[in-house]
Amino acid sequence: MRKIFFLAYLTMLTIFGYSTVQAQDINFNESWKFYNAEAKGAEQVTFNDNNWRELNLPHDWAIEGPFDIKYNARAGGLPFHGTGWYRKHFKMNADAKGKVVRMEFEGAMYDGHVWVNGEFIGSRPYGYIGFEFDISKYLKYDGSDNVVAVRLRPQDLSSRWYPGAGLYRSVWLKIDNPIHVGQWGTYITTPTVTKDLAVVQNETVVVNKSKNKVKVNIKQAYFSPQGKLVMSVDEDTNIEANSSYTSELFCNIENPERWDTETPNLYSVTTTITQNGNVVDVYKTKIGLRSISYTSEGFFLNGKKVRFNGVCLHHDNGALGSAVYRRADERKLQIMKSMGVNAIRTSHNPPSRELLELCDELGLMVQDEAFDVWKMEKVPNGYNVFFDEWGERDLKDMIKRDRNHPSIVMWSIGNEIIEQKDAKNGWRVAKKLNAYCKEMDPTRPTSAGFNHSPAPYDNNMAQQVDIAGMNYKPLGYSEIHKKYPQLPLCGTETSSCTSSRGVYHLPIEKYQTHKSLHVTSYDLIGPVWAYPPDIEFHYQEQNPFIMGEFIWTGFDYLGEPTPYGGRDNSTNGYWNDDWPSRSSYFGAVDLCGFPKDRFYLYQSQWTSERMIHLLPHWNWKGMEGKDIPVHCYTNCDEAELFVNGKSMGKRVKGKDLTEIKVVFNNYESNTFQSKYRLSWNVPYKAGNIKVVGYKDDKVVQEEQIFTAGKPIKVSLSVDRKEIHANGEDLAYVTIRIEDKNGNLCPEATNLVNFTVKGAGKLIAVDNGDQTSVESFQGNERKAFSGMCLAVLKSSKIAGEIKLIAKSKSLKSDLIIVKTK
C-alpha cells in the first residue's frame, strides 16, 4: 500500500477538499452516518440523513447487542442480521478531475451494495474479501457535496459462528494519476533463497487509463530491514492507451537477512513510475526473503524442517466483535506466541490485512483459508448461495491481495466441505479451485481441511491439493500415510477440547454437559469427535511425518457454544436449547485474552524456556479432608508438590503418568495414560499448595497458590502504560478481585463499575464467561472466576486516560495510561 497520509490531511479532505493530486491512499474511516434498518431511497443524494447516527469505522453494529434468545446462539446470540445503511458526505476539488479515484472496502459484512451520488457502482456478497470500485466518473469536482451510500444485508442462518455486521474493516479513498500501479499490483517472489543469495522476482502491473500511448520508467528499489538501499533495477517501456503492462524485473541480493519464525526480517520495495522525468506514482510493498518446501515427510522453512505449533483463529476479537483494531490483533497474536505458537490458520475465511501484516512482523506462519463451504450448504443462507458466481473471483482476489506476505506458507481452499462425500463431483471442484491457486501463485502449496476420512482420500479429493489437512483423525494418521505414502499430511484441526477459565468440577468426570453451562478446566471434556491435547501430542510423536497441528482453537470466539445448544444442523440451525450459553469453549485462551489452564499444557510442549503451572485453585470450603486432584503442566524434568509446606512427592516428566478419562469417536479405551501432565491426589486443607520444578536436579521454576480469604479489593493492571494518541490505539486493563494479601479470589463474581476520565474512553468490557448476557459496551461488569476486563481507546489528543474501578464493599483502584 502507498504511504498513508495523516489525520490532518483527512480533515482537510472532508472540510476543504483536495489541495493536491499526488497518488495517495487516504483513510476514509471518519464521519460516516449509520442507520440500522431499511431506509427507502437512502442511496439518493437528496436523502435526509440528519437524524442518523454519526460514527467512525471500523464498525460492527451487532456487537452492540443486546444478547437475546430470539437470535441464534450459534452466531453469538447477537443481532448480526438485518439491514444496515452507511452514508458519507465528502468534497472533491477541481484539481482531482482527470485523476483516477477509487474507493476500497477492506471488508463489508455482508452482501454489500454501493452507490455514489445516487448511481449504483457495484456489489460484493462475501463479507470477508476486500474490493474496490473506480468512482471517478460519478464524482462532482466543483467543491459541492458527494455522497457514498452502502447497504448491507446479512442474513440469518448465513454463518456457523459470529460473523459481525457492518463496515467492520477500513475504507480508503485512492487518488491516482492515470498511470499508476494497479490494485494489489505487485507480485514479488523469491525463486532462490540461501544464506548467501536471494533471487527476487518482481511482477508489477502498471495501468494506463489515459487516452494516449505513454512511455514510462519503472524502477524497483529494495531496502534492507534496517532501511538501507541494497539493490535497484529499472526498465523503460511503452504502455498503450487504456491498457496495462506487467513489468517483470529481478535482482540478486547477497547475504540476505532471511525471514523465519525467530528472526522475521522484512525488506521494503519501492516501485516508482516516472513519465517525462516526473514521478507519477510510488507504491510500497513489504516482503520477506525465505524459502519453503514440503514432502510427505514434513514441511521446511529455509531448508530446516519445522513443525506447525498452530492454532485456528476466528476473526472476532471478543468484546470488540469483528471490528478490526490493529492492537487487538497484535495482542491476540502476542498471547499466542507466548504459548509457543508458530502458525495461524485463518479459519475459515480471508483475514484482515492487519492480521497478516502482524504475522509478517511477529514471525508467525499462516495457512490462509478461503471458504467454509462450496456448493453444498451447511446453513441455508451460507456462502454456497454465492459460490457458483463468486467462488473463483473471491479465491483469486484473496491470493492476489495476500501473496506478498512472507508469513503465508499455504493456501486453503476449504474447510470440512460437504462435497467430501460426493465421489463423482467433489474432487472436480477441488481440482478447479487448486488450479486457480496455482494460476495466481504457484510458489505455495495448497491445502484443505478434511474430516470425513477416509472418503476424501478414497474419492480423489485430497489428491487435488498439495497438503491434505486431517481434522480430528489422530488415530488415522498412520493408516492414511501407509495407504497414500506420497501425500503430505497435516493436522489442520485438532483436539477441540473445551473449558471455562477457572472452573473445576469434582469428581473428575467425562461428561457431555454440566448444569452450570460451564466446562471443567481439567482439560478433558469435548464433543464426540474431540479429545484432550495429550492424545494429539502422542500421535504426532508416533507419526513424525505429520507436519504438526492447528488446535481448535487458540482463542474462544463468539458463537458455536459446543458442547451446549445444538449439533450442527440437527436443531434447524439454531443452538438456543441451553441459553444463555452463547460463545465458544474451545479456546486455550478465553474471550478476554486470559489464559486457561490448557494454555500452559501447550506451552509445556511448545516452548523451551522453563515453565511450570499448577491447578486447580485452592478454595474448597466444605471439602476438608477429601482428595483434590492436583495437576501440573511443565517442561521441567521433575516436579515436587508441597501442601502447607509438606512434600507430596516428586513426579518425573515422561515416567510418572496421569490417567485421564477419554471418550471420542473410534477410540476403544476409556482412559489414556498421559506423560504430558503430572498429578497428585491430596486431602484438602486450607493454606497453600506449591509446585517446584527441577532441571538436572536444580530448582528452576516454582508456582504457589494460596487459599484466598474474603474479597477485599479491586486490583488493576494494564498491558501497556503508554499508547498512541491516534484515536485507534487500545489499552487492555485486567481487573482482579483480591483478598487482603493480594491473592485472587477464584470464585468472586463481584460487580465492578468503571469511570473513565481524560484523553480516551471505555469501548468494551468482558469477563470471559461464555454464559454472560451483560453488554460488552456498558460501564460495569461482573467478575468471572475473580477477573474481568476493560478496554480503553485513545483519543487524538495526547494526555492521560484515568480508569477508576469500584465495587460495593471493596477497596477501589485506579490506573493511568499515557497517550503520546
State the first-to-last Cα distance of the chain, in angstroms, to the nearest integer.
Answer: 25
CB atoms under 10 Å from CB of 119, counted, come to 12
The verdict on whether 702 is a catalytic residue reads: no
The span from the CA of 223 to the CA of 306, in Å, is: 28
**Residue whose C-alpha is closest to residue 5's, from 56, 16, 325, 18:** 18
- The CA distance from 616 to 618, in Å, is 6
How far is Cα 126 from Cα 629, in angstroms, rounded to an integer? 48
What residue type is assigned to position 527 of the chain? P
Q: Identify which of 437, 374, 434, 451 has the alpha carbon closest to the alpha carbon of residue 408.
A: 437
Looking at this protein, which amino acid is placed at residue 82? Answer: G
Of 475, 425, 424, the closest CA to residue 454 belongs to: 475
Task: Let me know if 211 is exposed, middle or buried by CB neighbors in 10 A (0-12, 13-18, 19+).
Answer: exposed
**Beta 612-615 vs 292-295: how paired, if at all?**
unpaired
> CB-hemisphere CA count at 13 Å for 603?
23
- The crossing angle, in degrees rounded to 10, of helices 384-402 and 426-440 is 30
Q: How far apart are CA 523 and CA 125, in angstroms?
A: 39
User: What are the φ and ψ backbone dihedral angles of 455, each rounded to 5 degrees?
Assistant: -50, -50
Task: Print burial letters for 629-649: b (CB count within 10 Å at least 16), e (below 16).
Answer: bbbbbbbbbbbbbbbeeeebe
Q: Name the catalytic one among 43, 106, 369, 493.
A: 493
Residue bearing cell 508469513: 407
For residue 269, which amino acid is it?
V
Asked whether 169 and 107 are in contact (CB, 8 A), the reply is yes
The candidate with the shortest Cα–Cα distance to 93, out of 26, 16, 180, is 16
Cβ neighbour number for residue 796 with a 10 Å cutoff: 13
> How many degrees, rounded to 5, is the angle at CA 338 between CA 337 and CA 343?
20
| Alpha carbons 638 and 695: distance in angstroms, whole number | 7
d(Cα 365, Cα 386) in Å, to the nearest integer?
30
From the list 416, 536, 640, 703, the catalytic residue is 416
Distance CA 359, CA 352 (A): 11
Spacing of C-alpha 505 from chain mean position: 31
Note if 416 is an active site residue.
yes
Cell triple for 98: 482527470
What is the arrangement of strands in the sheet containing 787-794, beginning at the earlier edge strand?
A: 713-718, 730-738, 787-794, 760-766
Catalytic residues, by residue number, are 416, 493
